[in-house]
């Protein structure tokens, strides 16, 4: 499971610059998918082989220039509750301010790994000035400059030490698959879960954002067994006004990270909006299986092709990852809710699918001989062998004489061929071209 690192501190100390630097190391490599909208305040990072998520709490504060101390206190408190590691950023130019003191006071009671980053230290003079920060009573600190990156390597080394190494045993335990029901507030997530379980164990009101926490429910009916996770609605950033909303966002992020299948709930009366798209890409970026449920379908005025048009519009928005099941349901009238669960179970099976190496080579090499990658600089690219990697999610390696010349369009062609011949509906696939 990924650890969550939360960056806290008062405004204008350089939290966002540090955040960007932490996630850039990996972002450029991981998100080479075109059209992936990225969330400004949440990202993934990797250092010394350890993966973790980074959350910039500053991004969740209202009107960030004239912030009240109270707001920051709340942010810090929430970060402490939700994150595994706290990174407290201060500014050497300003020295210790009353607000830094207030944050330090809260942090002194924390029993979690805590790192102090003294920012804007870009020369020896300033390094000497940083000594003042011992007065915060939080122990040692790291001097960094988030603009030019000096000192961030040592800081990351220290953070990585605190992150547990994923052990083989973690992977082996085949617990029940976790299905997280995610979506913006008031899309009908709790109603859907109640309809499935047949009891009102979640309070359902028509006030957006009633569910504040993610709640786990074991589902065991009709021969299916899994854990259902109901998350708080993910809100548009501009709406994250009260601390509880920020809490919901963190919870939903966490639910997606820890689930196997993300059931993305869309409100049919509002359509597939930017926020829905963000949630979708968050699941894709974490390599989760995805099912899109269009809820409240009973409230939509229908003509002959209404459903087809709605579906096409969604697929257009989520290109290039369009091989995703879309089910139209009504949690209220229970229309197609069983189909929704059946589909989620199928996607979970697809995500575990392993293809025999001999069969894979038989199918794929023939296709690639008929349609080889376009020649570059007069050199012909030959793909000699392929295999599925022994990973949790479907990943494939293709060995070629000149892998560096294979471009994205061909990678997509290969992915489409894999999808055509094997059922990976709803599952992101990773493809690597390597030197034979």
Is residue 135 annotated as involved in ligand binding? no
Q: Is residue 122 situated within a structural domain?
A: yes
Helix (H) or strand (E) holding 290: strand 289-295
Q: Residue range 278-302: average pLDDT?
A: 87
Q: Is residue 213 situated within a structural domain?
A: yes
Is residue 188 annotated as involved in ligand binding? yes
Q: With DSSP H G I counted as helix, E B as strand and the rest as coil, what are the percentages for the chain, rounded to 5?
A: 40, 20, 40
Beta carbons of 253 and 259 less than 8 angstroms apart: no
Shared domain check, 347 and 365: no
pLDDT digits (tens, 9 = 90+) for 55-81: 877 644 544 444 556 667 777 777 777
Shared domain check, 371 and 237: no
Residues near 421 by beta carbon (within 8 Å), at least 6 away in sequence: 363, 364
Shared domain check, 190 and 52: no
The candidate with the shortest Cα–Cα distance to 155, out of 10, 14, 2, is 14
Shared domain check, 123 and 191: no
Is residue 9 annotated as involved in ligand binding? yes
Is residue 174 annotated as involved in ligand binding? no
Q: Which pLDDT belongs to residue 167?
A: 57
CATH number of 418's domain? 3.30.300.20
Is residue 248 annotated as involved in ligand binding? no
Shared domain check, 109 and 7: yes
Is residue 58 annotated as involved in ligand binding? yes
Q: Which pLDDT belongs to residue 26?
A: 40
The candidate with the shortest Cα–Cα distance to 231, out of 206, 244, 212, is 212
Is residue 223 annotated as involved in ligand binding? no
Is residue 184 annotated as involved in ligand binding? yes
Give dist(CA 92, CA 74) in Å, integer. Answer: 24
Range of the domain at 233: 178-352
pTM across the whole model: 0.62
Q: Which long-range contacts (C-beta less than 8 Å, at least 24 apart) are formed by 314-323?
A: 314/266, 314/272, 317/272, 317/277, 318/277, 318/280, 319/35, 320/33, 320/34, 320/35, 320/412, 321/33, 321/284, 321/428, 323/419, 323/424, 323/425, 323/426
Shared domain check, 141 and 18: yes
Beta carbons of 50 and 178 less than 8 angstroms apart: no
DSSP-H helix ranges across 173-240: 189-197
Is residue 333 annotated as involved in ligand binding? no
Of the residues 336, 352, 368, the one at which a domain ends? 352
Q: Which pLDDT belongs to residue 69?
A: 62
Q: Is residue 269 situated within a structural domain?
A: yes
In total, how many domains does the chain have?
Answer: 3
Beta carbons of 11 and 61 less than 8 angstroms apart: yes
Q: Is residue 167 situated within a structural domain?
A: no
CATH number of 206's domain? 3.40.50.300
Is residue 10 annotated as involved in ligand binding? yes
Shared domain check, 348 and 362: no
Of the residues 318, 352, 386, the one at which a domain ends? 352
Is residue 129's pLDDT more than 80?
yes
Is residue 119 annotated as involved in ligand binding? yes
Helix (H) or strand (E) holding 129: helix 124-129
Beta carbons of 45 and 22 less than 8 angstroms apart: yes
The burial of 192, by beta-carbon neighbours within 10 Å (0-12 exposed, 13-18 middle, 19 or more buried), is given as: buried
Of the residues 319, 352, 385, the one at which a domain ends? 352
pLDDT digits (tens, 9 = 90+) for 371-388: 888 888 888 888 889 999
Q: Is residue 171 situated within a structural domain?
A: no
Give dist(CA 104, CA 139) in Å, integer. Answer: 11
10 Å Cβ neighbour count for 369? 10
Shared domain check, 78 and 7: yes
Q: Which pLDDT belongs to residue 62?
A: 46
Q: Is residue 168 situated within a structural domain?
A: no
Give dist(CA 95, CA 364) in Å, integer. Answer: 62
Is residue 37's pLDDT more than 80?
no
Is residue 121 annotated as involved in ligand binding? yes
Shared domain check, 118 and 23: yes
What is the average pLDDT value for the chain, to the nearest integer?
A: 79
Q: Is residue 186 situated within a structural domain?
A: yes
Is residue 426 annotated as involved in ligand binding? no
Q: Residue range 245-269: average pLDDT?
A: 76
Shared domain check, 383 and 421: yes
Report the alpha-carbon angle 209-211-217, nearest 5.
150
Is residue 232 annotated as involved in ligand binding? yes
Shared domain check, 23 and 124: yes
Helix (H) or strand (E) holding 277: helix 274-285
Shared domain check, 28 and 89: yes
Beta carbons of 373 and 383 less than 8 angstroms apart: yes
Give dist(CA 354, CA 390) in Å, integer. Answer: 9
Is residue 13 annotated as involved in ligand binding? yes
Radius of gyration of the chain (CA): 24
Is residue 208 annotated as involved in ligand binding? no
């Amino acid at each position: 499971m990924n650890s969550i690192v939360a960056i806290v501190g008062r405004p204008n100390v350089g939290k966002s610059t540090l955040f960007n630097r932490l996630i850039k190391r990996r972002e450029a490599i991981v998100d080479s998918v075109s059209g992936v909208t990225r969330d400004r305040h949440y990202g993934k990072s990797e250092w010394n082989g350890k993966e973790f998520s980074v959350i910039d709490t500053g991004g969740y504060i209202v009107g960030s220039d004239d912030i009240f101390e109270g707001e920051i206190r709340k942010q810090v408190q929430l970060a402490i509750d939700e994150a595994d590691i706290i990174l407290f950023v201060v500014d050497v130019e300003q020295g210790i301010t009353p607000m830094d003191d207030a944050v330090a006071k809260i942090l002194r009671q924390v029993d979690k790994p805590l790192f102090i980053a003294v920012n804007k230290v870009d020369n020896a003079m300033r390094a000497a000035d940083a000594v003042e920060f011992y007065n915060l009573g939080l122990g040692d600190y790291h001097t960094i400059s988030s603009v030019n990156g000096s000192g961030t390597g040592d800081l990351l080394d220290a953070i990585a030490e605190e992150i547990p190494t994923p052990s083989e045993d973690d992977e082996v335990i085949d617990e029940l698959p976790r299905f997280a029901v995610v979506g913006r507030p008031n899309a009908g997530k709790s109603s859907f879960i109640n309809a499935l379980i047949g009891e009102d164990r979640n309070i359902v009101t028509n006030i957006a954002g009633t569910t504040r926490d993610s709640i786990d429910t074991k589902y065991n009916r009709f021969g299916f067994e899994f854990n259902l996770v109901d998350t708080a609605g993910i809100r548009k950033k501009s709406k994250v006004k009260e601390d509880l909303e920020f809490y919901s966002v963190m919870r939903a992020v966490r639910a997606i990270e820890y689930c196997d299948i993300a059931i993305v709930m869309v409100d049919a009366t509002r359509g597939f909006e930017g926020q829905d798209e963000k949630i979708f890409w968050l699941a894709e970026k974490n390599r989760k299986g995805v099912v899109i449920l269009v809820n409240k379908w009973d409230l939509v005025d229908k003509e002959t092709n209404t459903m087809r048009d709605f579906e096409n519009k969604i697929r257009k928005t989520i290109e290039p990852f369009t091989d995703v099941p879309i089910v139209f349901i009504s949690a209220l009238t229970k229309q197609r809710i069983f189909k929704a669960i059946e589909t989620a179970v199928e996607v979970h099976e697809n995500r575990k699918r392993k293809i025999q190496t001999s069969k894979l080579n038989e199918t794929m090499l023939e296709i690639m001989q008929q349609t080889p990658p376009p020649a570059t600089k007069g050199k012909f690219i030959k793909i000699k062998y392929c295999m599925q990697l022994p990973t949790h999610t479907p990943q494939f390696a293709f060995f070629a004489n000149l892998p560096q010349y294979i471009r994205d369009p061909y990678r997509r062609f290969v992915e489409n061929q894999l999808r055509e011949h094997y059922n990976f509906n709803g599952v992101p696939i990773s493809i690597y071209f390597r030197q034979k």
